[in-house]
């Protein structure tokens, strides 16, 4: 039985969008926002939870989106991967400043900046209590960071993928447009597919379903939400096999 002193999950993969780092800014990284997120991560690490993070690059790429218009898709995706490396470095730096030990591991080879992703090394870091930030997605164009989160989550044996968004779960309709929309407490993968809820891209969603890796969608903007999710409380929406 889960108690107040016993987390429901001991190893998690946290998926952050790049936009989550912007705060109220138009693009880039908002320092107070990233520091608040790191404080929430530090709180669950203090409970003994092993944490890995995959972060998107939309906040960085948004600043050059106009120049990328009409660009070859693969080239644009590689630019996006580099944006995730920038975000990962910023996040790891903020973690280290707050007393955590963070390691950035990249799916593309830029060893002068970050170390390459090597699964046994990642597992070792987690066992040592370090926080891993997986950068550069899967290392391949045409795959999103949602897919990277599902892939890395399966590889490291995470018990859940936590998708942090600006909305506190999955709703029957857009809660910003429909005040009668209600939040699902939980859904099966099949139910989410039938209702076309668009929780993750199709590749990521199928991978989680096939690996029986649950997804929890919650709002990173709600104070204490990450800890409540880790403790197994009714926060956000659980999608399960």
Binding site as annotated, residues for UMP: 57, 77, 138-145
- Residue 158: which of 57, 230, 237 has the closest Cα? 230
Tell me the binding residues for ATP.
15-18, 58, 62, 165, 171, 174
Residue 101: half-sphere exposure toward Cβ, Cα within 13 Å: 7
Tell me the binding residues.
15-18, 57-58, 62, 77, 138-145, 165, 171, 174
Yes or no: say if 107 and 81 are a contact pair by the CB < 8 Å rule: yes
Residue that is written with structure tokens 């892939």 in the block: 151
Residues in the chain: 241
56 CB-near residues (< 8 Å, 6+ apart): 16, 17, 18, 19, 84, 87, 145
Yes or no: say if 202 and 149 are a contact pair by the CB < 8 Å rule: no
């Amino acid at each position: 039985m889960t108690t107040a002193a016993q987390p429901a999950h001991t190893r998690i993969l946290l998926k952050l969008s790049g936009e989550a780092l912007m705060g109220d800014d138009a693009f880039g990284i908002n320092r107070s926002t990233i520091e608040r997120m790191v404080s929430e991560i530090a709180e669950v690490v203090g409970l003994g939870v092993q944490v890995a993070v995959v972060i998107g690059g939309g906040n960085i790429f948004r600043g050059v989106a106009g120049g990328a218009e009409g660009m070859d898709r693969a080239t644009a995706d590689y630019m996006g991967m580099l944006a995730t490396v920038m975000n990962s470095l910023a996040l790891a730096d903020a973690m280290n400043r707050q007393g955590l030990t963070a390691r950035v591991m990249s799916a593309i080879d830029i060893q002068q900046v970050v170390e390459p992703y090597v699964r046994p090394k990642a597992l070792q870091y987690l066992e040592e209590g370090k926080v891993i930030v997986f950068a550069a997605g899967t290392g391949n164009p045409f795959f999103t960071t949602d897919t990277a989160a599902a892939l890395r989550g399966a590889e490291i044996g995470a018990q859940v993928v936590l998708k942090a968004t600006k909305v506190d779960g999955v709703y029957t309709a857009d809660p910003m447009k429909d005040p009668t929309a209600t939040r699902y407490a939980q859904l099966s993968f099949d139910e989410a597919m039938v209702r076309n809820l668009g929780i993750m891209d199709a590749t990521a969603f199928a991978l989680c379903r096939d690996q029986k890796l649950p997804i929890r969608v919650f709002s990173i903007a709600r104070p204490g939400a990450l800890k409540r999710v880790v403790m197994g409380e009714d926060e956000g929406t659980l999608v399960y096999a």
